[in-house]
Amino acid sequence: MRNLIKLISLYNYSITFYLLLLISSYFLITENFVLKTKYFNSSNYIAGSVFSAQSRVSEYFLLKKKNTLLEAENKKLKESLTNIRSINNFIENKQYNFIDAEIINNSVRKKNNYITINKGTKHGIKKGMGVISNLGIVGKVKYVSDNFATIISLLNNSYFVSSLVKNSNTLSSVNWNGNDPKILNLLYVPKHIDIQKGDSVITSSFDTIFPKGILIGEIVSINKDTNSNFYDIDIMSSQNFYNLSMVYVVDNILYQEKKALESDTDEK
């Protein structure tokens, strides 16, 4: 404390001078409009420059994240366009009709989930018809009334869908294990088949209710260390069931003809 007082007394004239200079500058700037404008413009320029530099640095570090998000959005858009083109092709071939419907009830957190739509027998809906969206498959019609229908959701662990691994054309089956609504299980793919992460999984049309080539998902995990002849495979569902709102019910015009022929064949 004594040293501080000694220091102040030693430089008291200089300290007083600079203090008075600061006070006079303050009053000069605040009382003079031109100087005040220049001061604040300079302050704004400096602050703006600092914030601009900070923003550029932040943008640089967030660039990778933004690119990842853009890639995901582009991928979803491509998947959507692929399914829309598939639907249009099937309409042109006149084997399938598609009845649009709105989701009025949907569950995702149960082991066996169901969906309700606002179309029924009056609109051509029948039990057993497949249901898809512009992103992928949704499920199969279970019960129908005049104006409504309930659908077995793909998120139902008792429901299996005939599928193909697109790159190798390997017949398989898709089922949900009741855990993560985004992850499905790909079953019955033999270990001698060459498959990779990122391979697409599509409908096979073997069950007759879905056209061949409708996207189901993409392989995200392959476990070869299993005590069976098949891989343990997880796929990421192309359909987000949390924001599902519109669907298309698939009417296979040739369904009865195919079933009748197969029934006659089985009897012989």
pLDDT of residue 115: 95
Q: Where are the domains of the chain?
A: 99-267
**Mean pLDDT per 10-residue section of the chain, whose length is 268 residues:** 60 64 59 49 50 55 57 52 54 75 92 94 94 92 94 95 93 94 95 92 88 92 88 94 91 79 70
Model pLDDT for residues 53-102, shown as the tens digit of each residue: 555 555 555 555 655 655 555 545 544 554 555 555 555 556 788 899 99
Model pLDDT for residues 105-117, shown as the tens digit of each residue: 999 989 999 999 9
Q: 98-133 burial string, b = 16+ CB within 10 Å, else e? A: bbebebeebeeeeeebbbbbebbeebebeeebbbbb
In the CATH scheme, what is the code of domain 99-267? 2.40.10.340
| Number of continuous H segments (helices) and E segments (strands) in the chain | 4, 12
Residue type, 90: F
